Structure 1
Amino acid sequence: MADCVFCGIVAGSIPAFLVASSPAGLAFLDIRPVFKGHVLVIPRPHIVTLPDLPSDDIAEYFRFVQLLSAAVPVATGARGTFVAVNNVVSQSVPHLHTHVVPRTKGDGLKGFFWPRRKYADDEEATGIAAAIGKEYTRLSVAETGRRE
């Protein structure tokens, strides 16, 4: 879709701090993270909401999300992750995206009020994206025996 920011990221016409890529989609850093290392996972085709995701694509898409939810804590030093999908309400970009947010006990996140933060600079964001991507690749290779 021509005016969709996430479709632009898939096409390569809009820059993003890419974390990982798979046939199921792309993962990149949220530019307004709840915590540093907050990843957005999107399917490659323009799909607006989770109910619109073809049933044949669900397993592969959520396996990608699952691997990233394991990679984020290792790469960021977090204790776990919060994984969420908005459909329509609070969906700032009308393209299906799954949030993988690093969490640590006592991090201050309460309920659904998500204060946003910023990366100090592009170098910090690039380093965090690369660390998560490296861990995702390690997990993926360990699972499949091959790089995607």
Structure 2
Amino acid sequence: MFCGIVSGAVPSVRVAEDTATYAFMDINPGSDGHLLVVPKRHSRDLLDIPADDLASVAVAAQRIARAVVTELGADGVNLLNCCGAHAWQTEFHFHLHVIPRYADKSKDGLRLPWVPGVPGDTRKVADLGNRLAATLA
């Protein structure tokens, strides 16, 4: 679907475009102004996307986030990527959601299922961190 949007075969409301990225309005928005930024070159997900395309998407998302705060009066912005079916990825073309957040809840229907507040087991957190650090060393 997103390759079709980038090519123009599938209609979209284009918000921004450059040589590497395409940004368009989400048709199932979580809030007023919710949009997606995708690389023009197809990548399945966060694990597949080349670093240069990921950087281009991040730069475009930052530019767009500034615009939603300035133009739409958003009080904050969430960036969201879902990588894999168990992480709610439903469209297997890497994309980054830019979701404006508002104090005025009539503009903001997004409710995330994770609510931080319960501290994790410190030993488990340290063990997982050490395992990842060793893998990345």
Considering the TM-score relative to the shorter chain, is it more than 0.5? yes
Are the equivalent residues in 2 in contact too, given 1:18–1:26 (CA < 8 A)?
yes
Distance (whole Å) between structure 2 residues aligned to residue 36 and residue 104 of structure 1: 9
**For residues 26 and 110 of structure 1, do their structure 2 counterparts lie closer, same or farther at Cα, with a shift above 3 Å needed?**
same
- 1:74 alignment counterpart: 70
- After superposition, residues 1-148 of structure 1 pair within 5 angstroms as 5-89=1-85, 90-105=88-103, 107=105, 109-112=110-113
Distance (whole Å) between structure 1 residues aligned to residue 41 and residue 52 of structure 2: 14
Distance (whole Å) between structure 1 residues aligned to residue 8 and residue 52 of structure 2: 26
Shift of 1:44: 0.4
Shift of 1:87: 0.6
Greater gyration radius = 2
Percent identity between the two aligned chains: 39
In structure 2, stretches of 5+ residues that fail to align are 115-137
Distance (whole Å) between structure 1 residues aligned to residue 84 and residue 29 of structure 2: 20
Q: Matched residue pairs, number?
A: 109
Runs of 4+ in 1 over 6 A off after TM superposition: none
- TM-score, L = length of structure 2: 0.72
**For residues 110 and 9 of structure 1, do their structure 2 counterparts lie closer, same or farther at Cα, with a shift above 3 Å needed?**
closer
Which one scores higher on RCO, CA 8 angstroms, separation ≥ 6?
1
- TM-score, L = length of structure 1: 0.67
Distance (whole Å) between structure 2 residues aligned to residue 84 and residue 50 of structure 1: 11
Distance (whole Å) between structure 2 residues aligned to residue 110 and residue 61 of structure 1: 24
Are the equivalent residues in 1 in contact too, given 2:37–2:97 (CA < 8 A)?
yes
